[in-house]
Every structure is written in C-alpha cells, then in structure tokens.
Amino acid sequence: MNQLIVHPEWCRRADCASTGSHQSATFNAGRPGDLVGVDATLVELETEGIRMLRLTITEEGTAAHYSVPVEQARALSDVITSLLDV
Ligand SMILES: [Zn+2]
C-alpha cells in the first residue's frame, strides 16, 4: 500500500519515494566561461526531516558533492557576503 507523500513546496516531486528525500530544482551559480562550476540543490531527508543544501563543485570535469545543514549554509552565506563586501 502506497503512503501519501507530502512534498515541501519547493520539491520537484521526482523519485521522492525511492530516494527517501525531497529535492528542489538545481540552481547553477555560474556564468559562461567560469573555471569552476557551482550548483546548489535543497534536499530534505524524508524520514529525519533534516534539510540540507547540497553543493556540487565541478572542476576540470570532476564533480565533488558537499551537503551542509541549512542553518550552516545560512551562516556560510553571511560569511561570503561579509567577505565580498570588503
Ligand atoms: Zn518530494
């Protein structure tokens, strides 16, 4: 028997049941010609309700994935904004 899945508003509603997580669309934080690719996706683990920001950094064809809790991602955003405003 299938359980009714409740998706967060931002979920793209693809493979949630099979992956056990909700995922947003992936946003690219790059511009044409950038040496490093940066993609960001919001992910929520369905069973734990833990929300993470997944960053994919691609350099010379190799992708590395980092998952950061949302609160830490907000703190990182503040740090980046502060550094770039110097
Ligand atoms: Zn979902």
Report the separation in Å between the CA atom of 21 and the middle of ligand 1, taken as the mean of its atom positions: 7
The whole-number pLDDT of residue 26 equals 96
Give the model confidence (pLDDT) of 25-81 as tens digits. Answer: 999 998 888 999 999 999 999 888 899 999 999 999 999 999 999 999 999 999 999
Report the separation in Å between the CA atom of 58 and the middle of ligand 1, taken as the mean of its atom positions: 26
Report the separation in Å between the CA atom of 69 and the middle of ligand 1, taken as the mean of its atom positions: 18
Report the separation in Å between the CA atom of 40 and the middle of ligand 1, taken as the mean of its atom positions: 17
Q: What is the pTM of this model?
A: 0.83
The whole-number pLDDT of residue 52 equals 97
Report the separation in Å between the CA atom of 77 and the middle of ligand 1, taken as the mean of its atom positions: 25
Long-range contacts of 70-73 (CB under 8 A, 24+ apart): 70/42
Which residues, other chains included, contact 11 with Cβ-Cβ below 8 Å and sequence gap of 6+? Answer: 22, 23, 24, 44
